């Protein structure tokens, strides 16, 4: 998917388009900068240069710059790193995670700025985009309390029960409401599907129950698999494109799992591989949404 998405996105980015070559250089901190291609300065001792392929050059553009090593150990050029991080932003991500398979190392924005030789214009674009994504996520996780109308932010996306601190203080007891039906909470918690109020139902479960089956192009004999699954780790709904292998990476928790058996890929691969049906067969449609038990540090 990386090659396909990069190819489509790069068509939109004029000065990042494939085939452009370094020209009209100026310098920034001793490093050559161009509207067409950015190149590391080999005399800059703050970079760790390596004699390896550009591991983020998914389109095989063979950028002219020397290769430098990221904190995760993978080799990049300024252009390949810029293209990859820009693709992440276009996908709505605010975390810059290495694109190499099996590497989930997150880079700081400061490291990206340095290693990608981001120009002032690029920094402005990155920062405005990150701010826009953060604002959108904040609005998505904020609703007005049905009792007092004060905005309340849900901190745990895996729990429909949300406490309004304003009402709790006024009433002298814990006041919690359902994020889904916007009524005072009834029933046990945490819950990801619904509370015990009449008429409260999960749109996610309805989607899982009613979505059509998928026909895999590259996985034979994989019939009866729904086209949408809930991530077994965090509960986010994902739709398979039907192309490539049976594994997908959840954009929320970053865990890779098998769309057929709904096990994490590392577990599925013990008895199968990415382009054949699982030994355990196709898992039935899910009837509950997994709760994400995050580590305190995550």
Instruction: Categorize the per-residue pLDDT at 8 as very low, low, confident or very high, splitting at 50, 70 and 90.
Output: low
Same domain, 132 and 146: no
The answer to whether residues 191 and 177 touch, using CB atoms and an 8 Å cutoff, is no
Cut 0.85: pTM above it: no
User: What mean pLDDT comes out for the span 5-21?
Assistant: 42
Same domain, 242 and 257: yes
> Tens of pLDDT along 218-270?
888 888 999 999 999 988 899 998 888 999 999 888 899 999 999 999 999 88
Same domain, 156 and 194: yes
Instruction: Categorize the per-residue pLDDT at 32 as very low, low, confident or very high, splitting at 50, 70 and 90.
Output: very low
> Tens of pLDDT along 107-137?
999 999 999 999 999 999 999 999 888 888 7
> Tens of pLDDT along 127-164?
999 988 888 877 778 899 999 999 898 888 778 999 99
Same domain, 7 and 129: yes
Instruction: Categorize the per-residue pLDDT at 295 as very low, low, confident or very high, splitting at 50, 70 and 90.
Output: low
| Total count of domains within the chain | 3
Q: Determine the pLDDT at residue 52.
A: 95
Same domain, 110 and 147: no
Instruction: Categorize the per-residue pLDDT at 171 as very low, low, confident or very high, splitting at 50, 70 and 90.
Output: very high
Say which residue, 205 or 175, is predicted with more confidence: 175
Same domain, 56 and 166: no
Same domain, 15 and 105: yes
Is the per-residue pLDDT at 78 higher than 80?
yes
Is the per-residue pLDDT at 1 higher than 60?
no
Same domain, 12 and 124: yes
Q: Determine the pLDDT at residue 119.
A: 92
Within-domain flag for 81: yes
Same domain, 23 and 101: yes
Same domain, 41 and 130: yes
Last residue of a domain, one of 159, 184, 201: 201
Same domain, 158 and 42: no
First to last CA, the chain: 26
Domain span including residue 119: 2-136
Same domain, 56 and 152: no
d(CA 69, CA 48): 6
Is the per-residue pLDDT at 36 higher than 80?
no
């Amino acid at each position: 998917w990386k090659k396909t998405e990069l190819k489509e996105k790069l068509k939109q980015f004029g000065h990042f388009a494939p085939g452009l070559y370094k020209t009209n250089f100026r310098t920034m901190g001793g490093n050559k900068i161009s509207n067409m291609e950015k190149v590391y300065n080999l005399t800059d001792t703050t970079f760790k240069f390596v004699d390896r392929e550009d591991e983020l050059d998914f389109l095989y553009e063979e950028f002219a710059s020397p290769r430098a090593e990221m904190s995760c150990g993978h080799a990049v050029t300024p252009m390949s790193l810029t293209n990859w991080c820009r693709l992440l932003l276009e996908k709505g991500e605010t975390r810059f995670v290495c694109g190499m398979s099996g590497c989930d190392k997150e880079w700081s924005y400061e490291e990206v700025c340095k290693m990608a030789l981001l120009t002032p214009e690029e920094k402005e674009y990155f920062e405005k985009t990150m701010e826009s994504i953060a604002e959108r996520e904040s609005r998505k996780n904020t609703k007005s309390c049905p009792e007092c109308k004060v905005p309340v932010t849900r901190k745990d996306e895996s729990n429909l029960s949300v406490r309004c601190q304003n009402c709790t203080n006024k009433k002298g007891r814990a006041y919690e409401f359902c994020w889904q039906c916007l009524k005072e909470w009834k029933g046990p918690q945490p819950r990801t599907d619904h509370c015990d109020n009449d008429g409260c139902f999960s749109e996610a479960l309805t989607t899982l129950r009613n979505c059509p089956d998928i026909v895999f192009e590259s996985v034979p004999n994989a019939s009866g698999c729904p086209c949408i699954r809930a991530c077994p780790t965090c509960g986010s709904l994902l739709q398979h494109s039907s192309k490539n292998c049976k594994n997908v990476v959840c954009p929320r928790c970053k865990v890779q799992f098998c769309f057929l058996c709904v096990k994490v890929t590392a577990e599925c691969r013990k008895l199968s591989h990415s382009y054949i049906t699982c030994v355990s067969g196709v898992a039935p449609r899910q009837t509950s949404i997994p709760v994400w038990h995050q580590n305190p540090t995550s």
